[in-house]
Amino acid sequence: MTELELSAMIYLMTNEQFRIWPLFHGMSHRELVRRFPLLAAIRGDNADEECESLRSKFGVAFSKTEQAISVPVAQRFHHVAVSNDISDDNVKDVDPSELETIYNDLTKETSKNRRGAASDRLRHYSESKSIWKHDISWDIILYLISSKDNSDIKDGLYVLEYMIRTAGKVDNVELKSVKDLISARFGAQLVKLSYPTNDRRIPFNSFIILKEITEGDTLTNYVMEALKFAMSEIENDNDYTRYVQVLVSYLENLSKERIKNLCDVMYELSSRDDKTGERAKELHDRFIRLT
């Protein structure tokens, strides 16, 4: 049960933007990360700390949350699409020479600090500038998401996501143009990045971008293939649960007819006498409750 609760917490924090304040009982943060590496970014407090101290920290956190919720949702959560009717005159062009410098700092043998500064500038420009107008921007993104370094991949996905968000502040035509370019240039790589490997967990941002740029039926077909892959290839139950949560949450929002088709697929797979069959039976029971 605690493993299921942990998986639910990860899903809520990753996909629903829930704010959770963990208290570590009987273990340190280091011990937690050793057992569950995916939780490395989560910070909390020791459950043995004085109640008054914890109450004070909670008060500060609650105050910050009250201020945050006064901001429109689309501005708070960068993965939520910005309304297309927003006009933002602050979205300006960027000097191409700046992008050339960023590209050189990222691709040449430069210091770690200089490379980090280049990544920071790129992320900043993607949040406020129309960088999609320049070919060098697409070269930078191609370099980043083709990298074997997970931090490079995350930077590339971040920039793509903010390209969509920033273009949405301009107008519908610009937004469609950016989505079409992302789909044409990086669609196949985004699908590939969404599949887990031994050295990389699923980048949820990759799936988020796919949802933005892919037609419904095409995305559903992709999700089904990804789900079947996860059911047969991921051995560890915890890794499997974390991976399929985002896919299943998408599938559960389909039409009743689509969900009935899912039930049929899972029923057929459930006849297999292996882990895939067990997982298919669980998903069949889950989907059947929605029909």
Q: Determine the pLDDT at residue 5.
A: 76
Q: Three-class SS string for the chain?
A: CHHHHHHHHHHHHHHCCCCCCCEECCCCHHHHHHHCHHHCCCCCEECCCCHHHHHHHHHHHHHHHHHHCCCCHHHHCCCCCCCCCCCCCCCECCCHHHHHHHHHHHHCCCCHHHHHHHHHHHHHHHHHECHHHCHHHHHHHHHHHCCCCHHHHHHHHHHHHHHHHHHHCCCHHHHHHHHHHHHHHHHHHHHHHCCCECCECCCHHHHHHHHHHCCHHHHHHHHHHHHHHHHHHCCCHHHHHHHHHHHHHHHCCCCHHHHHHHHHHHHHHCCCCCHHHHHHHHHHHHHHCCC
Average pLDDT of span 228-242: 85
> Can you tell me which residue has the tokens 């896919």?
247
What is the CB neighbour count within 10 angstroms for residue 153?
20
On average, the pLDDT of the chain sits at 80
Task: List the structure tokens of 252.
Answer: 């559960």
- Taking the model in full, what pTM does it have? 0.59
212 or 266: which leads in pLDDT:
266
| Predicted confidence (pLDDT) per residue in 193-234, tens digit | 877 665 555 556 788 888 888 877 888 888 888 888 889 888
β-bridge partners, 207: none
The number of CA neighbours under 13 Å toward the Cβ of 7 is: 14
Q: Which positions ≥6 away from 92 have C-beta within 8 Å? A: 128, 129, 130
Q: Determine the pLDDT at residue 11.
A: 66
Q: Determine the pLDDT at residue 79.
A: 36
Paired sense of beta strands 23-24 and 45-46, if any: parallel
Q: How confident is the model at residue 52 (pLDDT cuts 50, 70, 90)?
A: confident
What is the CB neighbour count within 10 angstroms for residue 26?
8
d(CA 115, CA 166): 24
Q: Determine the pLDDT at residue 91.
A: 86
| Predicted confidence (pLDDT) per residue in 161-191, tens digit | 999 999 999 988 889 999 999 988 888 888 8
Q: How confident is the model at residue 22 (pLDDT cuts 50, 70, 90)?
A: confident
Cβ distance 242 to 252 under 8 Å? no
> Can you tell me which residue has the tokens 């890794």?
239
Average pLDDT of span 38-45: 66
| Predicted confidence (pLDDT) per residue in 64-91, tens digit | 555 544 443 333 333 333 333 334 556 8
| Predicted confidence (pLDDT) per residue in 274-289, tens digit | 999 999 999 999 999 9
Q: Determine the pLDDT at residue 14.
A: 58
Task: Kindly report the backbone phi and psi dihedral angles of residue 18, in degrees, each rounded to the nearest multiple of 5, phi listed first.
Answer: -70, 140
| Predicted confidence (pLDDT) per residue in 93-147, tens digit | 999 999 999 999 999 877 888 898 999 999 999 998 999 999 999 999 999 999 8
Task: Kindly report the backbone phi and psi dihedral angles of residue 129, in degrees, each rounded to the nearest multiple of 5, phi listed first.
Answer: -120, 155
Cβ distance 169 to 86 under 8 Å? yes
Task: List the structure tokens of 52.
Answer: 């008054």
d(CA 153, CA 206): 10
Angle between helices 135-145 and 150-168 in degrees, nearest 10: 140
